[in-house]
Amino acid sequence: MSAGDVILPGATLGVLGGGQLGRMWVQKAQAMGYFTVVLDADPTSPAGLVSHHHIRTGYEDAQGLAEMARLCAAVTTEFENVPAASLDLLAQSLRVSPAGGAVAIAQDRAAEKAHFVRCGVPVAPHAVIATPEELAAVSADLLPGILKTARMGYDGKGQVRVQTAADLAGAWERLGRVPCVLEKMLPLAHECSVIVARGRDGSMVHLPVQRNLHRDGILAVTEVFEGNLPAAQTHQALTAAKSVADGLNYVGVLCVEFFVLQDGSLVVNEIAPRPHNSGHYSQDACDVSQFELQLRTMTGLPLVQPRLHSPTIMLNLLGDLWFAQGDQPVTPDWAQVLALPGCHLHLYGKRDAKPGRKMGHLNVTGATPEAVRATALQAAAILGIAPF
Protein backbone atom coordinates (compact mmCIF):
# COMPACT_ATOMS: atom_id res chain seq x y z
CA MET A 1 0.00 0.00 0.00
CA SER A 2 1.46 3.41 -0.90
CA ALA A 3 1.44 6.28 1.58
CA GLY A 4 -1.36 8.06 -0.26
CA ASP A 5 -3.76 5.12 -0.25
CA VAL A 6 -7.01 5.53 1.61
CA ILE A 7 -8.25 2.69 3.81
CA LEU A 8 -11.94 2.66 3.01
CA PRO A 9 -14.94 1.57 5.14
CA GLY A 10 -15.22 -2.20 5.25
CA ALA A 11 -11.60 -2.53 6.41
CA THR A 12 -10.62 -3.55 9.93
CA LEU A 13 -8.90 -1.01 12.21
CA GLY A 14 -7.40 -1.41 15.64
CA VAL A 15 -6.75 0.54 18.81
CA LEU A 16 -4.24 -0.17 21.56
CA GLY A 17 -6.04 0.49 24.82
CA GLY A 18 -9.60 -0.25 25.88
CA GLY A 19 -10.61 2.84 27.86
CA GLN A 20 -13.39 5.31 27.14
CA LEU A 21 -11.40 7.07 24.44
CA GLY A 22 -11.04 3.77 22.62
CA ARG A 23 -14.73 3.07 23.11
CA MET A 24 -15.81 6.34 21.51
CA TRP A 25 -13.36 5.81 18.64
CA VAL A 26 -14.77 2.26 18.12
CA GLN A 27 -18.32 3.61 18.07
CA LYS A 28 -17.41 6.23 15.46
CA ALA A 29 -15.44 3.73 13.35
CA GLN A 30 -18.36 1.30 13.38
CA ALA A 31 -20.83 4.06 12.51
CA MET A 32 -18.72 4.68 9.41
CA GLY A 33 -18.65 1.01 8.39
CA TYR A 34 -15.28 -0.17 9.68
CA PHE A 35 -14.66 -3.30 11.71
CA THR A 36 -12.73 -2.83 14.94
CA VAL A 37 -10.14 -4.54 17.09
CA VAL A 38 -9.31 -3.51 20.66
CA LEU A 39 -6.20 -4.76 22.44
CA ASP A 40 -6.57 -4.55 26.22
CA ALA A 41 -6.02 -7.18 28.90
CA ASP A 42 -9.16 -6.19 30.84
CA PRO A 43 -12.13 -8.37 29.76
CA THR A 44 -14.56 -5.62 30.81
CA SER A 45 -12.71 -2.68 29.25
CA PRO A 46 -15.11 0.02 27.96
CA ALA A 47 -13.85 -0.31 24.37
CA GLY A 48 -13.51 -4.09 24.43
CA LEU A 49 -17.18 -4.37 25.37
CA VAL A 50 -18.33 -2.70 22.14
CA SER A 51 -15.69 -3.84 19.64
CA HIS A 52 -16.06 -6.56 16.97
CA HIS A 53 -12.79 -8.12 18.18
CA HIS A 54 -11.16 -7.88 21.57
CA ILE A 55 -7.62 -9.19 22.01
CA ARG A 56 -7.21 -9.70 25.76
CA THR A 57 -3.47 -9.41 26.23
CA GLY A 58 -1.01 -6.91 27.61
CA TYR A 59 0.44 -4.21 25.35
CA GLU A 60 3.77 -6.03 25.07
CA ASP A 61 2.42 -9.50 24.39
CA ALA A 62 4.02 -10.77 21.15
CA GLN A 63 1.05 -13.00 20.28
CA GLY A 64 -1.48 -10.29 20.94
CA LEU A 65 0.41 -7.81 18.79
CA ALA A 66 0.84 -10.41 16.03
CA GLU A 67 -2.91 -11.06 16.07
CA MET A 68 -3.56 -7.34 15.84
CA ALA A 69 -1.17 -7.02 12.88
CA ARG A 70 -2.91 -9.95 11.16
CA LEU A 71 -6.40 -8.47 11.57
CA CYS A 72 -5.86 -4.74 11.01
CA ALA A 73 -5.12 -2.44 8.10
CA ALA A 74 -4.16 0.37 10.48
CA VAL A 75 -3.74 0.86 14.21
CA THR A 76 -4.01 3.81 16.58
CA THR A 77 -3.71 4.24 20.34
CA GLU A 78 -5.96 5.71 22.97
CA PHE A 79 -3.78 5.15 26.02
CA GLU A 80 -0.82 7.37 26.55
CA ASN A 81 1.38 4.82 28.25
CA VAL A 82 1.26 2.14 25.56
CA PRO A 83 4.92 1.13 25.10
CA ALA A 84 6.33 3.01 22.11
CA ALA A 85 8.20 -0.20 21.20
CA SER A 86 4.86 -1.96 20.60
CA LEU A 87 3.80 0.79 18.20
CA ASP A 88 7.15 0.53 16.42
CA LEU A 89 6.79 -3.24 16.14
CA LEU A 90 3.32 -2.95 14.58
CA ALA A 91 4.61 -0.23 12.25
CA GLN A 92 6.85 -2.82 10.58
CA SER A 93 3.81 -4.42 8.97
CA LEU A 94 0.95 -1.88 8.97
CA ARG A 95 0.08 1.80 9.34
CA VAL A 96 0.42 3.06 12.89
CA SER A 97 -0.52 6.56 13.95
CA PRO A 98 0.62 8.37 15.95
CA ALA A 99 4.16 7.02 15.57
CA GLY A 100 5.98 5.44 18.51
CA GLY A 101 8.53 8.27 18.53
CA ALA A 102 5.88 10.97 19.04
CA VAL A 103 4.13 8.94 21.75
CA ALA A 104 7.49 8.40 23.51
CA ILE A 105 7.99 12.16 23.74
CA ALA A 106 4.51 12.69 25.16
CA GLN A 107 5.17 9.95 27.73
CA ASP A 108 8.10 11.79 29.24
CA ARG A 109 7.64 15.28 30.67
CA ALA A 110 11.33 16.07 30.33
CA ALA A 111 11.42 15.08 26.65
CA GLU A 112 8.10 16.87 26.11
CA LYS A 113 9.39 20.12 27.63
CA ALA A 114 12.56 19.89 25.51
CA HIS A 115 10.36 19.48 22.42
CA PHE A 116 8.33 22.60 23.29
CA VAL A 117 11.55 24.58 23.72
CA ARG A 118 12.79 23.29 20.32
CA CYS A 119 9.51 24.46 18.74
CA GLY A 120 9.91 27.89 20.29
CA VAL A 121 6.69 27.74 22.32
CA PRO A 122 6.73 29.18 25.87
CA VAL A 123 6.89 26.71 28.78
CA ALA A 124 6.83 27.11 32.57
CA PRO A 125 10.25 27.70 34.14
CA HIS A 126 11.40 24.20 35.10
CA ALA A 127 14.29 21.88 35.90
CA VAL A 128 14.78 18.17 35.32
CA ILE A 129 15.64 16.28 38.52
CA ALA A 130 16.99 12.80 37.91
CA THR A 131 20.04 12.77 40.22
CA PRO A 132 20.90 14.09 43.73
CA GLU A 133 23.24 16.57 42.01
CA GLU A 134 20.39 17.97 39.92
CA LEU A 135 18.26 18.17 43.06
CA ALA A 136 20.97 20.13 44.87
CA ALA A 137 21.43 22.47 41.90
CA VAL A 138 17.76 23.57 41.69
CA SER A 139 17.38 27.34 41.64
CA ALA A 140 15.30 28.93 44.40
CA ASP A 141 13.48 30.84 41.63
CA LEU A 142 11.53 27.63 40.84
CA LEU A 143 9.91 27.62 44.31
CA PRO A 144 7.14 27.36 45.24
CA GLY A 145 6.68 24.72 42.58
CA ILE A 146 5.16 21.40 41.59
CA LEU A 147 7.32 18.31 41.41
CA LYS A 148 5.95 15.96 38.73
CA THR A 149 7.20 12.49 37.87
CA ALA A 150 8.57 12.52 34.32
CA ARG A 151 6.60 9.41 33.41
CA MET A 152 3.21 7.82 34.13
CA GLY A 153 1.42 10.82 35.67
CA TYR A 154 -2.23 11.58 34.85
CA ASP A 155 -5.15 13.39 36.44
CA GLY A 156 -2.80 15.10 38.89
CA LYS A 157 -1.28 11.81 40.07
CA GLY A 158 2.49 11.66 40.62
CA GLN A 159 2.61 15.35 41.59
CA VAL A 160 3.60 17.06 44.82
CA ARG A 161 3.39 20.76 45.58
CA VAL A 162 6.55 22.04 47.27
CA GLN A 163 7.27 25.33 49.02
CA THR A 164 10.90 25.06 50.13
CA ALA A 165 14.13 23.26 49.20
CA ALA A 166 13.57 20.91 52.18
CA ASP A 167 10.02 20.12 50.92
CA LEU A 168 11.48 19.43 47.52
CA ALA A 169 14.05 16.94 48.82
CA GLY A 170 11.33 15.17 50.86
CA ALA A 171 8.96 15.08 47.90
CA TRP A 172 11.57 13.59 45.57
CA GLU A 173 12.29 10.92 48.23
CA ARG A 174 8.56 10.13 48.47
CA LEU A 175 8.22 9.86 44.70
CA GLY A 176 10.92 7.18 44.87
CA ARG A 177 13.77 9.33 43.46
CA VAL A 178 12.47 8.65 39.94
CA PRO A 179 13.25 11.20 37.21
CA CYS A 180 11.03 14.25 37.76
CA VAL A 181 10.40 17.72 36.44
CA LEU A 182 10.09 20.60 38.90
CA GLU A 183 7.87 23.35 37.54
CA LYS A 184 7.48 26.78 39.02
CA MET A 185 3.97 27.33 40.38
CA LEU A 186 2.38 29.83 38.02
CA PRO A 187 -0.46 32.27 38.73
CA LEU A 188 -3.16 30.78 36.48
CA ALA A 189 -6.11 32.82 35.25
CA HIS A 190 -7.53 29.76 33.51
CA GLU A 191 -6.60 26.81 31.33
CA CYS A 192 -7.27 26.00 27.71
CA SER A 193 -6.48 23.32 25.19
CA VAL A 194 -6.46 22.79 21.45
CA ILE A 195 -7.03 19.63 19.46
CA VAL A 196 -5.33 19.40 16.10
CA ALA A 197 -5.52 16.60 13.55
CA ARG A 198 -2.60 16.18 11.18
CA GLY A 199 -2.65 13.90 8.16
CA ARG A 200 0.14 11.89 6.55
CA ASP A 201 0.50 14.64 3.96
CA GLY A 202 1.08 17.25 6.70
CA SER A 203 -2.34 18.88 6.24
CA MET A 204 -3.84 20.07 9.50
CA VAL A 205 -7.26 20.98 10.89
CA HIS A 206 -8.28 21.90 14.42
CA LEU A 207 -11.19 22.03 16.80
CA PRO A 208 -12.03 25.40 18.36
CA VAL A 209 -9.97 26.33 21.44
CA GLN A 210 -11.40 24.82 24.62
CA ARG A 211 -11.60 26.69 27.90
CA ASN A 212 -11.11 24.22 30.75
CA LEU A 213 -11.76 24.18 34.47
CA HIS A 214 -9.83 21.61 36.51
CA ARG A 215 -10.73 20.56 40.06
CA ASP A 216 -8.25 18.57 42.16
CA GLY A 217 -6.05 18.10 39.10
CA ILE A 218 -8.88 16.55 37.05
CA LEU A 219 -10.77 18.20 34.19
CA ALA A 220 -14.23 19.18 35.43
CA VAL A 221 -15.78 21.53 32.84
CA THR A 222 -14.99 22.50 29.22
CA GLU A 223 -16.66 25.54 27.63
CA VAL A 224 -16.57 26.24 23.91
CA PHE A 225 -18.28 29.09 22.11
CA GLU A 226 -17.32 32.02 19.92
CA GLY A 227 -15.43 34.44 22.18
CA ASN A 228 -14.77 32.00 25.06
CA LEU A 229 -11.22 33.38 25.10
CA PRO A 230 -9.76 36.70 23.92
CA ALA A 231 -8.93 36.50 20.19
CA ALA A 232 -5.19 36.98 20.79
CA GLN A 233 -5.08 33.97 23.15
CA THR A 234 -7.01 31.81 20.69
CA HIS A 235 -4.63 32.76 17.92
CA GLN A 236 -1.56 32.11 20.06
CA ALA A 237 -2.86 28.72 21.24
CA LEU A 238 -3.63 27.59 17.69
CA THR A 239 -0.26 28.72 16.37
CA ALA A 240 1.62 27.00 19.19
CA ALA A 241 -0.38 23.77 18.84
CA LYS A 242 0.32 23.62 15.13
CA SER A 243 4.05 24.15 15.57
CA VAL A 244 4.18 21.42 18.24
CA ALA A 245 2.42 18.98 15.85
CA ASP A 246 4.57 19.98 12.86
CA GLY A 247 7.72 19.66 14.96
CA LEU A 248 6.83 16.03 15.70
CA ASN A 249 5.87 15.34 12.08
CA TYR A 250 2.78 14.09 13.82
CA VAL A 251 0.06 11.97 12.24
CA GLY A 252 -3.17 11.67 14.22
CA VAL A 253 -5.10 13.66 16.80
CA LEU A 254 -3.03 15.66 19.26
CA CYS A 255 -4.23 17.68 22.23
CA VAL A 256 -2.08 20.55 23.47
CA GLU A 257 -2.88 21.88 26.95
CA PHE A 258 -2.07 25.43 27.99
CA PHE A 259 -2.03 27.58 31.09
CA VAL A 260 -3.30 31.13 30.67
CA LEU A 261 -1.50 33.29 33.21
CA GLN A 262 -3.01 36.24 35.05
CA ASP A 263 -1.12 38.65 32.77
CA GLY A 264 -2.86 37.04 29.77
CA SER A 265 0.22 35.21 28.48
CA LEU A 266 0.09 31.58 27.41
CA VAL A 267 2.34 28.72 28.48
CA VAL A 268 2.21 25.19 27.07
CA ASN A 269 1.60 22.60 29.78
CA GLU A 270 1.59 19.22 28.09
CA ILE A 271 0.43 17.20 25.11
CA ALA A 272 -1.68 14.08 24.76
CA PRO A 273 -1.05 11.99 21.62
CA ARG A 274 -4.70 11.03 21.20
CA PRO A 275 -8.21 12.43 21.56
CA HIS A 276 -8.64 14.20 24.88
CA ASN A 277 -11.29 14.62 27.55
CA SER A 278 -11.45 18.34 26.74
CA GLY A 279 -12.49 17.47 23.14
CA HIS A 280 -15.54 15.38 24.00
CA TYR A 281 -17.93 18.28 23.30
CA SER A 282 -17.08 17.84 19.61
CA GLN A 283 -19.30 14.74 19.50
CA ASP A 284 -22.43 16.87 19.82
CA ALA A 285 -21.37 20.44 19.04
CA CYS A 286 -19.17 20.04 15.94
CA ASP A 287 -19.84 18.59 12.51
CA VAL A 288 -16.70 16.45 12.84
CA SER A 289 -15.77 14.98 16.24
CA GLN A 290 -12.27 14.34 17.53
CA PHE A 291 -12.91 10.60 17.13
CA GLU A 292 -13.81 11.02 13.48
CA LEU A 293 -10.64 13.08 13.06
CA GLN A 294 -8.67 10.20 14.56
CA LEU A 295 -10.33 7.82 12.11
CA ARG A 296 -9.69 10.12 9.15
CA THR A 297 -6.01 10.62 9.98
CA MET A 298 -5.31 6.90 10.41
CA THR A 299 -7.12 5.85 7.22
CA GLY A 300 -5.97 8.72 5.04
CA LEU A 301 -9.51 10.01 4.53
CA PRO A 302 -9.64 13.75 3.77
CA LEU A 303 -9.38 16.20 6.66
CA VAL A 304 -12.00 18.93 6.54
CA GLN A 305 -11.97 21.81 8.97
CA PRO A 306 -14.56 21.04 11.70
CA ARG A 307 -17.23 23.64 12.38
CA LEU A 308 -18.71 24.35 15.80
CA HIS A 309 -22.45 24.43 15.17
CA SER A 310 -23.54 25.11 18.74
CA PRO A 311 -22.14 26.77 21.82
CA THR A 312 -21.45 24.02 24.30
CA ILE A 313 -20.41 23.04 27.80
CA MET A 314 -19.14 19.60 28.76
CA LEU A 315 -19.47 18.39 32.33
CA ASN A 316 -17.27 15.49 33.35
CA LEU A 317 -19.19 12.81 35.25
CA LEU A 318 -16.84 11.43 37.88
CA GLY A 319 -17.58 8.47 40.15
CA ASP A 320 -18.02 10.91 43.04
CA LEU A 321 -21.52 11.69 41.73
CA TRP A 322 -22.64 8.18 42.67
CA PHE A 323 -21.80 8.87 46.33
CA ALA A 324 -23.72 12.12 46.83
CA GLN A 325 -26.04 10.38 49.30
CA GLY A 326 -23.52 8.34 51.33
CA ASP A 327 -21.21 5.33 51.19
CA GLN A 328 -23.42 3.16 49.01
CA PRO A 329 -23.34 4.07 45.31
CA VAL A 330 -26.61 5.47 43.94
CA THR A 331 -27.05 6.01 40.18
CA PRO A 332 -27.52 9.72 39.43
CA ASP A 333 -30.97 10.81 38.26
CA TRP A 334 -30.26 10.74 34.52
CA ALA A 335 -33.96 11.09 33.66
CA GLN A 336 -34.15 14.43 35.45
CA VAL A 337 -31.04 15.66 33.64
CA LEU A 338 -32.33 14.46 30.27
CA ALA A 339 -35.55 16.41 30.81
CA LEU A 340 -33.43 19.53 30.24
CA PRO A 341 -33.04 20.76 26.64
CA GLY A 342 -29.86 20.00 24.70
CA CYS A 343 -28.36 17.46 27.12
CA HIS A 344 -26.39 14.61 25.53
CA LEU A 345 -25.41 11.85 27.94
CA HIS A 346 -22.33 9.70 27.33
CA LEU A 347 -21.53 6.86 29.74
CA TYR A 348 -18.56 4.57 29.35
CA GLY A 349 -20.02 1.26 30.54
CA LYS A 350 -17.83 1.08 33.67
CA ARG A 351 -19.55 -1.07 36.24
CA ASP A 352 -18.04 0.28 39.46
CA ALA A 353 -18.20 3.97 40.29
CA LYS A 354 -15.23 5.17 42.34
CA PRO A 355 -14.36 8.70 43.44
CA GLY A 356 -12.20 10.36 40.78
CA ARG A 357 -13.03 7.71 38.16
CA LYS A 358 -14.22 9.07 34.81
CA MET A 359 -17.62 7.42 34.31
CA GLY A 360 -19.00 9.59 31.51
CA HIS A 361 -19.65 13.13 30.38
CA LEU A 362 -22.61 15.34 29.62
CA ASN A 363 -22.50 17.62 26.57
CA VAL A 364 -24.92 20.53 26.73
CA THR A 365 -25.78 22.37 23.52
CA GLY A 366 -28.15 25.28 22.91
CA ALA A 367 -28.88 28.40 20.94
CA THR A 368 -26.68 30.81 22.89
CA PRO A 369 -23.79 30.59 25.37
CA GLU A 370 -26.10 32.01 28.06
CA ALA A 371 -28.77 29.35 27.46
CA VAL A 372 -26.16 26.59 27.47
CA ARG A 373 -24.67 27.88 30.70
CA ALA A 374 -28.07 28.08 32.40
CA THR A 375 -28.87 24.49 31.40
CA ALA A 376 -25.42 23.21 32.36
CA LEU A 377 -25.74 24.81 35.79
CA GLN A 378 -29.15 23.20 36.26
CA ALA A 379 -27.73 19.81 35.26
CA ALA A 380 -24.78 20.33 37.60
CA ALA A 381 -27.15 21.12 40.48
CA ILE A 382 -29.17 17.95 39.84
CA LEU A 383 -26.01 15.84 39.71
CA GLY A 384 -24.26 17.39 42.70
CA ILE A 385 -21.50 19.06 40.68
CA ALA A 386 -20.39 22.34 42.28
CA PRO A 387 -21.35 25.47 40.30
CA PHE A 388 -18.65 26.98 38.06
Shortest distance (Å) from residue 273 CB to ligand ATP: 11
Instruction: List residues near ligand ATP by CB under 6 A.
Output: 124, 146, 148, 153-157, 183, 185-186, 188, 191, 214, 217, 257, 269-270
In angstroms, the Cα distances linking 41 to 9, 61, 63 are 27, 10, 13
State which residue, 71 or 267, has the beta carbon closest to ligand ATP: 267
**Spatial separation of the C-alpha atoms in residues 3 and 297, rounded to whole Å:** 12
State which residue, 191 or 320, has the beta carbon closest to ligand ATP: 191
Shortest distance (Å) from residue 7 CB to ligand ATP: 30
Shortest distance (Å) from residue 259 CB to ligand ATP: 6
State which residue, 117 or 330, has the beta carbon closest to ligand ATP: 117
Shortest distance (Å) from residue 182 CB to ligand ATP: 9
Shortest distance (Å) from residue 13 CB to ligand ATP: 25
Shortest distance (Å) from residue 215 CB to ligand ATP: 9
Which residues make beta-bridge pairs with 345?
362
State which residue, 252 or 273, has the beta carbon closest to ligand ATP: 273
Q: Half-sphere exposure of 259 toward its Cβ, with a 13 Å CA cutoff?
A: 17
Shortest distance (Å) from residue 328 CB to ligand ATP: 28
Shortest distance (Å) from residue 227 CB to ligand ATP: 23
State which residue, 148 or 296, has the beta carbon closest to ligand ATP: 148
State which residue, 90 or 146, has the beta carbon closest to ligand ATP: 146
State which residue, 121 or 303, has the beta carbon closest to ligand ATP: 121
Shortest distance (Å) from residue 153 CB to ligand ATP: 4
State which residue, 65 or 256, has the beta carbon closest to ligand ATP: 256
The sign one gets for the Cα dihedral 113, 114, 115, 116 is positive
Shortest distance (Å) from residue 244 CB to ligand ATP: 15
Burial class (CB in 10 A: 0-12, 13-18, 19+), 133: exposed
Burial class (CB in 10 A: 0-12, 13-18, 19+), 220: middle
State which residue, 262 or 336, has the beta carbon closest to ligand ATP: 262
State which residue, 206 or 358, has the beta carbon closest to ligand ATP: 358
User: Under a CB-based contact definition with an 8 Å cutoff, are residues 209 and 192 in contact?
Assistant: yes
